[in-house]
Amino acid sequence: MKMIISVSAVLLAVLLMPFNSHSQTPQKPSTFKVSGHAGEASLVQINGKSYVELETLARLTQGTLSFNANQTILTLAPRDAGAHVSAPHAKAGFSTAFVQASIEELSVIREWRIAIVNAVKNNNPLSEDWVSAHHRLADKNLALAFAAASTDDDRSASPLLTAEFNNMQKLSDLYIAMRKQDAAISPDNFDTSLEEQILSCARGFVSMTENHEFQDQANCH
């Protein structure tokens, strides 16, 4: 039995997904299981729709993924193929999908942070529309990183990404509030300690994933 999923359709649905400019940080995803199969995956909801990572779905069903042009084909194993397969042990380390999604999230936050810091230093104002667009993109990437988490280390590291997102939002809100009060912002009146915390958290997170083992990052909290 085969399930054929159009990659272009899936990507388009994600990219066009509406976001509220004041959207909240995504909730920790619930557990997704396939009846009759061992193991579980993280399930995340975005705007009322549930998502699970395709590679994880294939693993849970003992299926295989193949690719043909713009289509991804999921081939499910026969119903009795996994009858005698014991529940797998939780994988150690970080999954490739989670690391990739996390890097995407940190890249957006990096661009967001640099733009705000440069705006303060050079008195080059940023529009609220630009800031809101980066908030929505970071919000979406955070949800995708949660959905990609499939190992214990992935799930342990996910709150660090949430903390980084929240700190970046605080820095952004501070900038917008000061910009509304004054036409020009003095760098001396801007909280650079929060900016340094965001930068240190990102560096620690990347270093942790390169070591392939979860280690709590104090600068993220």
How does pLDDT run across 91-149, given as a tens digit for each residue?
678 999 999 999 999 999 999 999 988 888 888 888 888 899 999 999 999 999 999 99
Tally of CB atoms within 10 A around 114: 12
Same domain, 150 and 71: no
H-state helical runs in 88-191: 96-122, 128-148, 152-181
- Asked if residue 155 lies in contact with residue 149, where contact means CB atoms within 8 angstroms, the answer is yes
* Residues 213 and 116 grouped into a single domain: yes
Q: Give the lowest-confidence range in 13-22, 39-48, 181-190, 193-202.
A: 13-22
Asked if 126 and 161 sit in the same domain, the reply is yes
pLDDT surpassing 70 at residue 14: no
pLDDT at position 140 is: 95
Banded pLDDT at 60 (limits 50, 70, 90): low
Same domain, 70 and 101: no
Crossing angle of helices 96-122/128-148, nearest 10°? 160
**88 in a structural domain:** no
Q: Which domain holds residue 145?
A: 96-220
Distance from C-alpha of 50 to C-alpha of 146, rounded to nearest angstrom: 12
In-domain check, residue 162 = yes
Q: How many domains does the chain have?
A: 2
124 vs 34, residue with greater confidence? 124
User: Are 107 and 210 found together in one domain?
Assistant: yes
pLDDT for res 77: 65
Q: Is residue 85 part of a domain?
A: no
pLDDT of residue 66: 72
| Residue 170: CATH number of its domain | 1.20.120
3-class secondary-structure state, position 77: coil
Per-residue pLDDT at 89 exceeds 60: no
- Sequence length of the chain is 221
Mean pLDDT of the chain: 77
Q: Are residues 129 and 201 in the same domain?
A: yes
